[in-house]
Amino acid sequence: MRKKLLIVKKFGGTSLATIDKIKKAANIVKKEVSLGNKVIVIVSAIGKTTDKLQSLINKISLNNDEKEIDSILSSGEQASSGLMALALKNIKINARSFLGWQIPIFTNTSYGKAKILDINSEVLKKEIKKGITPVIAGFQGISNEFRISTIGRGGSDTTAVAIASKLSADRCDIHTDVDGVFTADPRWVKKAKKIDQLTYDEMLEMASVGAQVLEPRSVSLAKNNNVALWVKSSSKNVKGTKIHNSIKIEKRNVSGIVFSKNDSKITLLGIPDKPGVAAKIFGSLADKDINVDMIVQNISSDGKYSDLTFTISEADLFKAKKCINQIKNEIKIKNVLPDNNVAKISIVGIGMRTNAGIAEDMFKALGQKKINIDLISTSEIKISVLISRRNLKKAINILHKTYDLE
């Protein structure tokens, strides 16, 4: 007899955007249950509910009462978990909704960006044993202050992986409105293809640069706990993308291309070249919780001055400019040039570890199309370049072709 599996299935907001879609999702669950498998369902809030709740909060409150905010933000998942349980019952699946505190999912007190500390598996195990399909509200937990805390936007992917890990599930399926992870965003590259499998590291790099299918934290959690993770369609019966540890079969160099348009570049001109300056600049940015991504420094030919260019998230630009202005006179920076018209493109692939020519191909391809590169950064399996935003589409398409991804 075939082994009965325990499967965690998460449905995102777009997959639950209408009652019809909720019914479709319920049928996907039913299909697994009919095979004799046990399923735990995790839901995100319906459609854009969380955004709408956030805009209500913005209208009423200038004081940041993070505990009340979390109580409001988490309510979207209360509705969707109940609706999903009803949809399942309608098709004769014995389901029951759970909020984070009813399991409980224990979180710390960093409201709005809480960490999951532990999950009690007893309640869920008992329900599953009784033949019940639990439907869990994602994105939320309970702190030791007995308040609801949310775990950060997009957090229900992490809820799903954490539950799969705690209950040693055979698989964690993240259902979304696309067929899987693509070689590039199909809205930008017509010939983009679905990728059959990726390593955790590749997925992590892709998710942190801009592939929106998975929340990056969920990928690291899956990697650390060896959870077999899948990205699957919530409407079509296609195979999806498997994310796991080792891929031996393929000799490909680059697996995918991702981009981000949410970065800004700041150039500091004419900084006295002496020890401690970089520490001062980046230290003061770090103090304000501003993450710096790419950095490049040039020294003038007389060795007295340097220019420093770095990128930050566009959302931090205002804060960063203020921060730099505060230290500008002290350090004697001659000029500060912010630039919003940039985009970052990254090529990702485990093949880079062994193939040295990949970077060269990237620079050549961009050069031939007269696309100027502002900044470069590399990791073991990723090369990122910063270019002008208006060249973004051209650049992604040429790179997609360069690496034979079509």
The residue count for binding ligand ASP (CB under 6 A) is 12
What residue has token string 């839901």? 43
Q: Which is nearer to ligand ASP, 138 or 351 (CB)?
A: 138
- Check binding of 216 to ligand ASP (CB under 6 A): no
Exactly one of 7, 8, 9, 13 binds ligand ASP (CB under 6 A); that residue is 13
Which 3-state string (H, E, C) describes 305-357?
EEEEEEEEEHHHHHHHHHHHHHHHHHHCCCEEEEECCEEEEEEECHHHHCCCC
User: Which of 110-118, 148-156, 228-236, 397-405 is the region at the interface with Mg ion (rule: CB under 5 A)?
Assistant: 148-156
Is 76 a residue that touches Mg ion (CB under 5 A)? no
CA distances from 42 to 7, 15, 158, 208 (A): 11, 12, 10, 22
How far, in whole angstroms, is CA 297 from its chain's centroid?
29
Q: What is the distance between the alpha carbons of residues 309 and 303, in angstroms, rounded to a whole number?
A: 17
Residue with tokens 């062994």, as numbered in its chain: 354
Rg (alpha carbons) of the chain, rounded to whole number: 23
Site string for ligand ASP, 21-60 (x = CB under 6 A): -----------------------xx----x----------
Identified binder of ligand ASP from the candidate list 133, 149, 156, 183, rule CB under 6 A: 156
- Which run of H or of E encompasses 98? strand 95-98
Tell me the site size for Mg ion, rule CB under 5 A: 3
- H-helix or E-strand spanning residue 176: strand 171-176
Q: Which of 155, 216, 240, 349 binds ligand ASP (CB under 6 A)?
A: 155
Q: How far is the CB of 20 from Mg ion (least distance, A)?
A: 19
d(CA 272, CA 285): 19
For the CB of residue 312, give the shortest distance to ligand ASP in the complex, in Å.
22
375 binds ligand ASP (CB under 6 A): no
By the 8 A CB rule, do 6 and 166 touch? Answer: no
174 binds, among Mg ion, ligand ASP, none (CB under 5 to 8 A by kind): none
Report if residue 139 touches ligand ASP, rule: CB under 6 A.
yes
User: 255: closest CA among 270, 265, 243?
Assistant: 243
Q: Minimum CB separation from ligand ASP for residue 233, in Å? A: 17
| CA pair distance 50, 133, nearest whole angstrom | 25
Residue 301 backbone phi and psi in degrees, to 5: -65, -25
Residues 17-56 that bind Mg ion (CB under 5 A): 44
* Given 7, 8, 10, 12, the residue binding Mg ion (CB under 5 A): 12
Q: Cα–Cα distance between 9 and 175 in angstroms, integer?
A: 7
Per the DSSP assignment, residues forming a β-bridge with 310 are 266, 295
Tell me whether residue 12 or residue 349 sits nearer to Mg ion (CB atom): 12
Contacts (CB under 6 A) with ligand ASP, residues 59-88: 76
In the complex, the smallest distance separating the C-beta of residue 14 from Mg ion, rounded to whole angstroms, is 8
Residue 17: DSSP 8-state: S
Least distance in angstroms from the C-beta of 171 to ligand ASP: 19
Residue 138 is a binding residue for Mg ion (CB under 5 A): no
Q: Which residue is nearest to Mg ion (CB)?
A: 12
100 binds, among Mg ion, ligand ASP, none (CB under 5 to 8 A by kind): none
Residue 141: how many other CB atoms lie within 10 Å: 29
Q: Which lies closer to ligand ASP via its Cβ, residue 13 or residue 134? A: 13
Shortest spacing between CB 95 and ligand ASP, in angstroms? 20
User: Distance (Å, rounded) from C-alpha 69 to C-alpha 401?
Assistant: 46
- If one asks whether residue 216 binds Mg ion (CB under 5 A), the answer comes out as no
Is position 351 an interface residue for ligand ASP (rule: CB under 6 A)?
Answer: no
Q: How many residues does the chain have?
A: 406
Q: Do 162 and 174 touch, CB atoms closer than 8 A?
A: no
Q: Which is nearer to ligand ASP, 221 or 333 (CB)?
A: 221
8 A C-beta contact, residue 203 and residue 243:
yes
240 touches which of ligand ASP, Mg ion, none (CB within 5 to 8 A by kind)?
none
Does position 115 bind ligand ASP by CB under 6 A?
A: no
Tokens 């990949």 found at: 358
* Residue ranges binding ligand ASP (CB under 6 A): 12-13, 44-45, 50, 76, 138-139, 153-156
Per CB under 5 A, residues contacting Mg ion are: 12, 44, 154
